[in-house]
Amino acid sequence: MGKKNTLKIIPLGGLGEVGKNMMVYEYGENILVVDAGIMFPENDMLGIDYIIPDFEYLRDKKHLVRGIVITHGHEDHIGAIHHLLEHVSAPVYATNLTRGLIQVKLERQGMLDKVNLRMLQADDNIQIGPFQVEPFHVCHSIPDSVGLGITTPAGLIVHVSDFKLDHTPVDGWPTDYAKLADFSKRGVKLLLSDSTNSERPGWTPSEQVIGPALDKVFEEAPGRIILASFASLVSRMQQVADACVKHNRRLAFVGTSMVDNAKIARELGYLKVPEETLVTIDQALQIKSKKKIALMCTGTQGEPSSIIGRLSTGTNRHFDIHAGDTIVLSSHPIPGNEESVSRTINRLFRRGANVIHDGIAPIHVSGHASQEEQKLLLNLVRPRYFIPIHGELRQLKHHAYLARQVGVSEENITVIENGQVVELSNGQINVTERIPGDYVFVDGASIGEINWDVMREREKLARSGIFLIDLNVDKFTGRLMHDPEIITRGFVSDEEAERLVPEARKRIMDVVNGGGLDREHDIVSAVRAYLYNETKRRPMVFVTLSKT
């Protein structure tokens, strides 16, 4: 239950990124959860759909959870909410747009009725158990994002999730510097803040730079414009809509998540598109003049099943790429996706489209603070202690280095990883135990049942394929009832298999006839040795043996 007067701080989930998907604050018999997001699998996580935080710790203490506060509406902060709510029933607090996006998600899961979804506003001051929570506005690439002042019995904590210090954001609402200064005046015990861009010098460009870049694209595009972005980048949708109005193009959102999110963002007033600009995809495809059409869809990461992915391979059912189309990838590849993004770009070029990406035009800016912003935040808040979050170890270490540069003393900076528990009590900070706090694989209907052992087997299967041997022997004579049956997959081409299989059969029969029948191991060894000798590869060899 934790010692008296002790605040526990625990980052959970998020692949290597610490506290990216979930943070837990625990005081006595009370837990406050911040965010509940998902991550997409890395390249060697074979067959995995997505990843959620390991919240075993919360399942064991579910009766202590007083509330779940969501900082903003991106997938890596809301995507796991339905998984969490299956185990933990506590009120969910979110700002207007974030709440709308969560509703869309819960509705799809048929869970909307069962969830206590409460409204939060910047400048609110709400009590959740012993936690006095003061959300304050921050800029990010989605409107209605908040950071949190959390007054606890152990002191005032400032929790800054994804943010940037954009002086000219799309929605005209800059980060609330006054609130940060106010916290500073009251004395901040601990700051936790976003480290994503801690290796990037300078100041992240304002979202405003995208406007002129889009203008240029809209002026020069000889035909349709197809813009790709994330479905939750509502600010980007607004910028595209503005360009459509200015350049007199009709705009259609394409794909379920894009359409649903645009709908809720419009309903709630976060996305302003004139009625006459917005059309459905069917209407857009009817328009004769290609220079009047703009489509907005997902698929910036080269995902083969996304609309851009399907367009690049000519497998989109609804419409195809035409020569003269201009594709705008308004995004930056997530680390690990560079290869598939690049391949997609090449394929789109091959189909006659022109492709504009952030490597050649400023049609995307990061939603995260760079070094100078991170330093300004530290100086505005002037915390006693600092824990860098939202980054891999390399970024956290660099954020810690920046904090030392602006005067936070080394012993007051704590770099932790997911599942490491930090305790704050009597003005002291300590790293204590480590709990399961990493990630859990979601694969089909399995949540957490797939582990790294299974992943290693998949990797082995993938490396050189399989070689199956079925044997049937007479239990009295010990003789084979028929020739060994052999199946291979992912090992060699069919022609090569035709060459290898007869000799492999012979080797098997030699072992069996040599009295090695009971020694399946010998059969496997003989086959492995033969195959390795011939191919310098090691497929997984399986023997099934029936005695009759």
Q: Which residues bind a second copy (CB under 8 A)?
A: 16, 42-43, 46-47, 199, 335-336, 338-340, 342-343, 345-346, 349-350, 355, 359-360, 392-394, 397-398, 417, 443-446, 449-451, 453-455, 457-466, 468, 470, 472, 481-482, 485, 487, 489-496, 534-537, 540, 542, 544, 546, 548
Catalytic site residue from 35, 144, 162, 194:
194
Q: 256 or 451: whose CB is closer to a second copy?
A: 451
Q: 129 or 391: whose CB is closer to a second copy?
A: 391
Catalytic site residue from 77, 332, 357, 368:
368
Residue 282: C-alpha distances to residues 287, 317, 319 (Å) = 9, 12, 10
Least distance (Å) from a second copy to the CB of residue 547? 9
Q: 457 or 510: whose CB is closer to a second copy?
A: 457
Q: 11 or 73: whose CB is closer to a second copy?
A: 11
Q: Is 368 a catalytic residue?
A: yes
Q: 209 or 468: whose CB is closer to a second copy?
A: 468
> Which residues does 429 contact at the CB level (< 8 Å), separation at least 6?
190, 385, 412, 414, 422, 423
Q: 270 or 439: whose CB is closer to a second copy?
A: 439
Least distance (Å) from a second copy to the CB of residue 68? 26
**At 388, is the secondary structure helix, strand, or coil?**
strand
Distance CA(152)–CA(242), nearest Å, equals 43
What sign does the dihedral 194-197-201-203 (CA atoms) show? negative
**At 297, is the secondary structure helix, strand, or coil?**
strand
Distance CA(72)–CA(96), nearest Å, equals 10
The first and second tokens of residue 369, run together, are 């603070």
Q: 102 or 345: whose CB is closer to a second copy?
A: 345
Closest CA to 22 of 12, 8, 9, 32: 12
Least distance (Å) from a second copy to the CB of residue 203? 17
What sign does the dihedral 87-92-96-98 (CA atoms) show? negative
Least distance (Å) from a second copy to the CB of residue 357? 8
Q: 99 or 399: whose CB is closer to a second copy?
A: 399
Distance CA(53)–CA(39), nearest Å, equals 9
Least distance (Å) from a second copy to the CB of residue 548? 4
Distance CA(121)–CA(286), nearest Å, equals 42
Residue 8: C-alpha distances to residues 37, 154, 170, 388 (Å) = 21, 10, 37, 16
| Contact present, 71 and 93 (Cβ < 8 Å) | no
Element (H, E) at 530: helix 520-535
Q: Is 162 a catalytic residue?
A: no
Residue 270: C-alpha distances to residues 9, 105, 261, 472 (Å) = 33, 18, 11, 69
Distance CA(138)–CA(144), nearest Å, equals 8
With vertex at residue 197, the alpha carbon angle to CA 195 and CA 201, rounded to the nearest 5 degrees, is: 125
**At 292, is the secondary structure helix, strand, or coil?**
helix
Least distance (Å) from a second copy to the CB of residue 79? 18
Least distance (Å) from a second copy to the CB of residue 495? 8
Least distance (Å) from a second copy to the CB of residue 151? 33
Catalytic residues: 194, 368
